[in-house]
Every structure is written in C-alpha cells, then in structure tokens.
Chain A
Amino acid sequence: MTLLHAVAGTAAREVPAPPPARAALRLALLGVQHRRGLWLAGATGVLAFVALLSVSLGVGSLGPARLLWAAWAALTGTFTGTPAAQPISATEWAVLADLRLPRTVMAIVCGAGLSMAGVAMQGITRNPLVSPYTLGISPAAAFGASLAILFGWAQWPLWGPYLTVAAAFSTAMLCAVVVLGLATLRGVNAVVLVLAGVGLTYLFGALTASVQFVASDQQLAAIVHWTFGTLNGRTWAEVAVAGGVWLLCLPVLLAHASAMNAFAGGGDDVAASLGFAVGRTRALITLAAVLSAAAIVAFTGVIGFVGLVAPHIARLTIGGDHRWLLPFSAVSGALLVLVADLIGRLAFAPVVVPVGIVVAFVGVPLFLHLLLTRRHEMGST
C-alpha cells in the first residue's frame, strides 16, 4: 500500500482499491485488447448481417435464404439468368445486381470512408470538432454540384451525371487543397484549422445559396435534393470510382495508425520526439483523409455528418488507440449509413427518404446517449 492510498484512506470514507499487482495489471491490459478484438469482430458480423438485409429487403423482398442460394448459384456458375429452376427470376436478379448491390456497397464505402477520414483528421489535430464536414469539404462539393445543375451540365446527354460529380469533386478538392495547405504550415494548430474550416463552410454555403438564388424552380429542387445526400440510383461505375479512391487511401491511413496515436496522445512536439516527421506525416494523413472524403461526397451529396459523429461513437465504444479505432470506425460508420439507408427505404416505402436526413435521426440520439453517459472520457479541454 503506497503512501497515496494510506492518505486517501484516512481522508475519504471509501478506501480506493489497492493498486492491482503487476500480474493483474498485465491481465487487465490483455483483457482490453481482447475486448477491442471482440467489438471489432462483433460489429463486422452485424455489418455483414445488415448488408444482407439491405440487399434482400425493399419493394419486392427476396428472402435472405433465397438470396444466399442465388449468391451460391452465381458463385458456382450454375446460375444462368434464365427462369424455371433458378433460385430467383431474371427481374429479381436485375434489381439485385443493378440496384440493391451497388447501393449497399456505396453505403458501406460512404460510411466507412467518411468515418475513417474523420478519425484521422481528429487524431492528428487533437481536436474532436474536426471532420470532412466541418472543414468545408462537403459544402464545397455541394457548391460544385449546384454549379453543374445551374449551367445545365447535368442535363448533357451521356456525360451529364458524371459532370455533376466531376464539378462536385473539383470544388471539394479545391477546398481540400486549402485545408491541406493550412495543415502543413508550421505553427498552424488545430484551433486555426477548425476556424478556417468554419470560414470555408460559410463561404461555400454562401456560394451555393447564390447559385440557388438565381436558379430556376426546377434547378432549385435538383440542388436541394442533391444536398440532402442520397444513395439513389448508384451505378457500379460510380461505386468503382468512389470505392477505388477509398481503397487507395485506406492502406495509407491504416499504416499511420501509430503516428495518429502519437499526435493524438502527445501533440506535435511529442510526435517529433518519437521520431515522426511531423509536417510530412500530417500532410500525408490529411491528403488521404480529404481525398477519400471528397471522392465520396461528390457522389453521395452531403452526408458529412457521418464523418463527425461516427468517429466519436467508435471512440467512445472501443477507445482511442487508432490501431483499433480506424478499422472499428470504418465498420461502425458503414453500419450507421447502411441502417439509415435501410430505414429511409423501408419506413415510407415506396417513398425513399434521403439517407443524409435519416443518418441524423439515427446517429444523433446514439451519439448524444454515448456523449452524456460517458462524457468524462471526452475530457475538458
């Protein structure tokens, strides 16, 4: 019993437990690792289950059993797309392959990508307010998309939808470059970055509002609908582009998990004293985070809220070690978007409520609950 505990014991009524012996401490630390592993495995299992639900449910449900049968048939090559003795009809197959599967994959990419981008940005800036949304990237994408809609690029034959996406991506990257430039400047701390992000958010918000002001009623409706954030009508080509960019950024972020720990746990000077090249590491992480976020919001519209809240939900669940937090936040972010999309599709079917709206309704109560029950772990400053 140390002096500290002897003193505390006489002062307070409840005597704190004696410090656990080394073996007990070692065991407790191992237990933490196991719990983190279980959380990650469990959440991945739930995600797989919800993904299966997302593919099978909708207008004209396919039972999960028939779906698995169809998947098995497709994998083993016994499915030919012709009716009769096949597990599902050709129409059902078309719905599955061209509508529900790309939509489900896009929801997963969107949730996982935005969530990881948020975790990475929050980690290296040591600031819980940073996310692709609060840095202005989503509002910038909205401005690009609204420009495309205003000038009628979106109506162009063949290339129309891609031009909207390209415009959204360009403005999002423009904003990202500004953020990146700020992040690499020496002496720019997280507060400066957050304030600059607030400024950019308002700037692009005002620009979008100006476009809306001069737009026709029809264009206005299209712009507003885009900003809701939706997973409607996602094609495999779009999924491939957004998912491809994310898969490029994914290993970069995962490889820097320890660096994020150093930044998050000690700050820039401690990270440097632990052997990290502060400027270069921060630039690389920021680049991977904003690039994947820009590629995603360019297609899905403003679902930026995921990038702020999913990281916190993950951190409050599994702790701040980025080696676990990054993969877990990807899974939990994907789960959040997928569940929100499922609810949005089913609650008022056949009307589809945009996922950007439902995400807030699903995520905020969960977020507030975690925040209020575990607020002490969030810290003061």
Chain B
Amino acid sequence: MAELTFAPGVREQLAAIARVRWQLFVNSLRTLRGRLELVSHIFITLGFAAGGIGGLVASSAGAYYVISSGKAEWLAVILWPIFLFWQLFPVVATAFTENFDTSNLLRFPLSYSSFALIRIIYGSLEPATMLSSLWLLGVAVGVGIASPDLFPWAVLALFLFAAVNILLARMIFSWVERWLAQRRTREILGVLFLFFIISFQLIGPLMSRYGRSAHPDLRQFAERILPVQRFLPPGTAASAVASAADGDFAIAAGTLGILGIYCAAIFWFLHLRLRAQFHGENLSEAPALAESSRERGIVRVGWSLPGIPGSVAAIFEKEIRYLSRSGPMLFTLIMPVFILFIFRLTPSTSHRKSGSFLGGSSDMAFPIGAAYALLILTNMVYNNFGPEGAGVQIYFTAPVPIRSVMLAKNLAHSTILALEMVLVWIGASLIYKPPALATTLATISGILFALPVNLTVGNLLSISSPKKIDYGTFGRQRASNTTVFASFGVQIVVVGLAAITLMAARSFDRIWLATAVFLVFAAVAWVVYAVVLKGIDHMAFGHREELIAELTRAS
C-alpha cells in the first residue's frame, strides 16, 4: 500500500495550496460577478450553518433519548441518515461540475503520501463533511450527557465512523471522477442522475397515496434487513456503543475493529485510484476507430424550410441538432408531461374530495402543463448564445444580420414549444381526460401571448447578459444572476396575468373570453417582438465584445 512517511516539506506544500486557494478567492472579488458570488456564498453558508446547528441539536437530543431509554442500538436510526447524507450529497452537488484536475499537482515534487493526503484533506473540505461532523458531535454530546461512562466509547466509535465516511466519500468521488472524465460516460451518468432526481419527485405522492395503509410485506422486509444493517458502518458504530452500554467491552472493542477494517478496505480502494492518478493516468477521450469507408466522404445536404432563407434554416437545423445531442436537455423537456403524472399520483388536498390533485379541475391539466413547458423553455430562450462558446464569433463574421440569427433561434425554440404543447395535450388526455376545445384554444392563445413576451425579453438578455453553458452537463448551468431575476419577474407578470384571466373566465363559465383577451395581448406582444427584433443588430454590435469575451473564455 502507500508509503506513509511524509516527504520533507509536505507541511509547506499543504500551506502553499491553502494560500493559493485563498489568493484565488481574494482575486475573484475583483469582479462584480465574483462579489455577487460571495454574497450568494454567504447566504448558502448561513443556510448550511442553520442546518448544521439544527442538526446538532436534534442529533444530540435524539442520542440523549435513545441512550437514556436504554436503547443504544437505536443510535443507528440517527447514524443512517447522517451516513446517507455524507455519501450522497457530494455526488449530487459536485459530480456534474468541473472537477479538481490532479495533473496540476503532479508537476510538483510531491511524494505519493503527500499527494494522497492533499487529495483527502482538500477533497473533504466540503459542506457534507462539515455538517455531518457537526451532527456526529451532537450525537457524542447527547451520549455523554445521558451516560458519561459511555462517552469515550461513543467518541471512539464516532471517530472511526467519521473516518469511514470521509474515506468512502473520497473513494466514491474519485471513481465517479474517473467515469466523468469522458464525455460519453459523463452524459450517461448525467441522465442517470436526472432519473435519480425525478424519482425523488415521486416519493411525496407515493408516500401520500400508499403511506397511510398498513403493509405487512413491507414490515417483514424491514425485519429481515434489520440484522444486516448491523454489519454496515452506521449499524456497526451503533452496535459498538450498545455493547459498551451493556458492559460487553470485548464485543464493543471487536465491533470497533470491524469499523477499522472498513476504514482499511475503503482506503485500499481509494488508494487504487489515487495511485493511478499519481502515476499520471490519461483519461482523455480514446480515439474512435475509423468509420467504414461507406460513410466516408458522404455529406448530407442541410435542411430546407419552406419560405425561410438558407442561413436561417441552417441556424434552425444547428439549434435542433445541438438540442437533440443533449441528453440532459432532452430529459428536461419531458418534464411537463411528467409533472402531470406526478399531479395524478398526488392525492387531493381537499378533505371533501377524493382522488388526485387536479382531480376536480382536470381541465386545468393542459394549461398547467403548457405553462410549465414554457417555463422550462425559458432556460434556453433567456440565454440564446450560452451554448455556442467560441462559435458565437461566426455570427459576427458571417454576412448574416443578428436579427436573422435571433429569428432562427426563436423559430427553433417555438417549434420545440409547439411540440411540447402537443405532448402535454396528449399526456393530459391520457392521464386525465381530453381538454375541452375552449380550454385548448384558451391555452394556445395564452401561449401565443406569453411566447413573444419571453422571446423578446430573452433576446435582449441573451445579448446583454450572456453566460457560457454546456448542454451536455448539469453542473453550473444556471444563467447569469441578472437573467435569473429578470426571468423571474417576467414569469410572475405573464403567468400571473394568464392565470388570473383564465380563472376569471372559468369562474364566469366563459372560457372563450380568456381566449379573446389572450389574442389581444398576443397581437400587442408580437408587434413589440417585431420592433425589438428589428433593432437587435444595433444592440448586438454594441455588446459584441462582452458577448464574445464571456462565451470564449475558458470554463
């Protein structure tokens, strides 16, 4: 295994890394973006601090309760959530962002042990470790107050449990990092991640639907797995404390030994990755085999759209191709139908009604799904140039007005929305019942109003406040703060106005009134859209430097 003698100077190397991280942070404050990031970090830290302190108090109280009521084995009930949080949170929070590039460290004269230590220490400086450590501290305090004799055993067991968690989190991360190093696996994992997130959405409705009735099978299953959990780290740590509480100190020591074995085994798996990284493994994309000579030299002609100029059709085709190659983005687009399915599973909140949420107002399923589709689309509409990267320069060097570029992008996004509307309509019809003609027309006219408003604001913000994004990954894919706030404001006004109109018309049982109102709004909105589009070239050329600088910068 690793040579565990630290080379001279390792302390200086650790300190140098700490210093450079600090300098990077200080330098980031030179820009407005950096200062805004700091503000958001402060808010996030406050949130984490609240969670940490709240968890500390809760875990302390929980530990005190189980120890003082003589059920020390039940500490596992507290340790399991901590364990799951510790392991899952870092994967969810960081797996799809840019990862720490070990090759940066490898050019320095580091011994393997220094390299491993740096990777473990700096890799562990993350919210999950901080929060979970605080919560374990709470458990130790709770045990200590309830039974001071048990305190040393609890500290020892929790210390080993923490070590297992730190090493396991690092091990999982380093393996995930290895898989994410290649674009294909990164995208596959991205889609799996989205499945994971979506399946979380189902927990609430399923719990509400099935949680109230007794399920003997589930109980039997729980009884069967209970002994198994004793051999997993949270259960083992709890068993060690329970054995000590029962006076079986030899068993307690043996159980702690199992935790030690866990530590060693996990470290060995981590060592496999670290050792490979230390030896400079290259995870770049493997060159694909040359494709068959049959396909060589064949270039298909581009798309043709009736009545649309070639350059606009070319951009339209490019937009659709880009989207079709983005697994995460495609997945996001099925969410409007999925949300209707979730509503179907969610029980009605009204005590007088039975059935699902929207059960009594199933005609609202189509408008809600359509509004959701529009909301999701704003991701793209408000940051039109975000996925282009350095490619954005072509729009300024090619003999095509920027308004044509915008028109093509708007056309592509509108087509996607139209397709989404059809999917939502079919989904609403299958999951609930086919929406009434009046509701369908009102919804379409509502979208005809909301779409140009969003396209207009989106075009302006895409130029004035762009943010480089990658359709292929999930992490840090948020638009700029300005865009987020502006988008939020527009949605409140547009969706609010549409909802009020629709509700008012519905309460009078005159849905067609909403259609008429929306069509008037839509006419005005499309005129404004056309006027803004006409003047977009001037604005784009005024902002081209910032736009190109933002989109061509290295991520």
Task: Answer yes or no: do A and B interact.
Answer: no
Chain A interface (Cβ < 8 Å from any Cβ of B): none
